[in-house]
């Protein structure tokens, strides 16, 4: 059961009643069973797996997951092919959710994109990461800046009661090239707004704390532009009716490409925010959505 670190005991009880128990875990070490797969585009999909009973994690952390690699031509031996993946599900969920890219010649995702319910994946149950509440000092407004699959850790944090307990406002910005690439985030926000259990726990109107700001960079959509440009030219603040980012009350988490992260660090530090870590909480934290 996914009962660890729930902000409220009531939540634990409700979730345990509402969720079906996970299916039996296969005997292979670190193997988990795929329970659901949803494809969004030719380059994005989401999948859910059983959760190891012993896995405790903090919302926003990542684990290593993968499949067995091809047999070595000389020895015939197979080695696990593992990659870092943010856990997209909240800590109270009985299952785990992942949101994945499909890189057509990528060693892992060229295969992973073909998984089906009932298949096994390897999951090393050692969660780590910096996109966690513990790495931020208390504040009033929390920004999640995501591009592409960088929304995955925020999908966990956005379904965590603590996020709404700790902040007065939460703003999710998600930037992708095409409109179809925003669907996972749009569905996520819609499901949170209609989530009876979160509403029962946090009170009616909790979801009014959540502001969703999707943008595209290539395909036409109601809001176009890189988030860094919209921050620099003030358009983001104008759209949201916000004066700006104030280091005394605003906190931020960033997850995107190396170039987005670098530029976001510069922008946030320009507003006086300092980078935090688990051991030294501050005003913002950053993590790479992928290497390369």
* Least distance from ligand FAD to the Cβ atom of residue 240, Å: 26
184 is a site residue for ligand FAD (CB under 6 A): no
Least separation, in Å, of the C-beta of 130 and ligand FAD?
Answer: 9
Is residue 148 within the footprint of ligand FAD (CB under 6 A)? yes
- Which of 15, 59, 67, 108 is in the footprint of ligand FAD by CB under 6 A? 108
Nearer to ligand FAD, 102 or 209 (CB): 102
Nearest approach in angstroms of CB 291 to ligand FAD is: 5
Find the largest Cα–Cα distance for the chain.
Answer: 63
180 contacts ligand FAD (rule: CB under 6 A): no
291 scored as a contact of ligand FAD (CB under 6 A) = yes
Pairing of strands 284-288, 141-147: unpaired
Closest CB 290 distance from ligand FAD, rounded Å: 3
Query: Comparing C-alpha atoms, which of 255, 196, 195, 200 is closest to residue 227?
Result: 255
Does residue 178 belong to the site contacting ligand FAD (CB under 6 A)? Answer: no
Q: Which of 100, 156, 163, 207 binds ligand FAD (CB under 6 A)?
A: 100
**Residue 157 near ligand FAD by CB under 6 A:** no
Closer CB to ligand FAD, 202 or 264, in the complex: 264
Task: Decide whether 149 or 207 has the Cβ nearer to ligand FAD.
Answer: 149
Which residue of the chain is nearest ligand FAD when measured via CB?
106
Q: What is the CB neighbour count within 10 angstroms for residue 90?
A: 24
User: Rounded to an integer, what distance in angstroms lies between the CA atom of residue 105 and that of residue 15?
Assistant: 39
Q: In what order do the strands lie in the sheet with 44-50?
A: 80-86, 62-68, 120-128, 31-41, 44-50, 95-101
Residue count at the site for ligand FAD (CB under 6 A)? 23
Question: Alpha-carbon distance 130 to 142, whole Å?
Answer: 15
| 247 near ligand FAD, rule: CB under 6 A | no
- 161/163 Cα distance (integer angstroms): 5
Binding to ligand FAD by residue 290, rule CB under 6 A? yes
- Among left, alpha and beta (phi > 0; psi -120 to 50; other), residue 272 is left
The reply on whether position 147 binds ligand FAD by CB under 6 A is no
Rg (CA), the chain: 19
* Residue choice 52, 69, 80, 106 for contact with ligand FAD (CB under 6 A): 106
Q: How far apart are CA 223 and CA 214, in angstroms?
A: 7
The footprint of ligand FAD on residues 60-99 (CB under 6 A) is 62, 83-86, 99
172 binds ligand FAD (CB under 6 A): no
Residues contacting 167, CB < 8 A, separation 6+? 139, 140, 141, 142, 209, 251
Phi then psi for residue 41, to 5 deg, are -145, -175
37 sits near ligand FAD (criterion: CB under 6 A): no
Q: Which is nearer to ligand FAD, 80 or 107 (CB)?
A: 107
Contact status: 124 vs ligand FAD (CB under 6 A): no
Dihedral over Cα of 25, 122, 34, 149: its sign: positive
Q: Which residues of this chain interact with ligand FAD, rule CB under 6 A?
A: 62, 83-86, 99-101, 103, 106-110, 148-149, 152, 287-292
């Amino acid at each position: 059961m996914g009962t660890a670190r729930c902000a409220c005991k009531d939540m634990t009880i409700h979730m345990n009643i509402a969720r079906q128990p996970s299916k039996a875990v296969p005997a292979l070490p670190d193997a988990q069973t795929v329970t659901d797969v949803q494809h969004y585009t030719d380059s994005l999909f989401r999948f859910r797996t059983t959760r190891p009973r012993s896995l405790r994690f903090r919302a926003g952390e990542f684990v290593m997951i993968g499949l067995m690699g091809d047999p070595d031509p000389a020895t015939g031996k197979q080695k696990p092919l593992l990659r870092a993946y943010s856990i997209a599900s909240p800590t109270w969920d009985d299952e785990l959710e992942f949101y994945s890219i499909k890189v057509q010649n990528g060693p892992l995702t060229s295969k992973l994109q073909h998984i089906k319910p009932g298949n096994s994946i390897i999951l090393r149950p050692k969660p780590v990461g910096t996109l966690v509440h513990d790495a931020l000092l208390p504040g009033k407004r929390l920004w999640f800046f995501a591009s592409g699959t960088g929304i995955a850790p925020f999908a966990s944090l956005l379904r965590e009661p603590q996020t709404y307990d700790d902040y007065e406002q939460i703003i999710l910005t998600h930037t992708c090239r095409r409109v179809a690439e925003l669907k996972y985030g749009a569905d996520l926000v819609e499901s949170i707004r209609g989530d009876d259990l979160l509403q029962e726990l946090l009170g009616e109107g909790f979801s009014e704390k959540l502001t969703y700001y999707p943008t595209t960079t290539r395909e036409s959509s109601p809001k176009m532009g890189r988030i860094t440009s919209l921050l620099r030219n003030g358009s983001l603040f104008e759209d949201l009716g916000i004066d700006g980012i104030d280091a005394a009350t605003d906190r931020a988490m960033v997850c995107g490409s190396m170039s987005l992260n670098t530029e976001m660090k510069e922008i946030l530090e320009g507003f006086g925010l300092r980078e935090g870590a688990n051991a030294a909480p501050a005003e913002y934290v950053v993590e790479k959505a992928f290497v390369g």
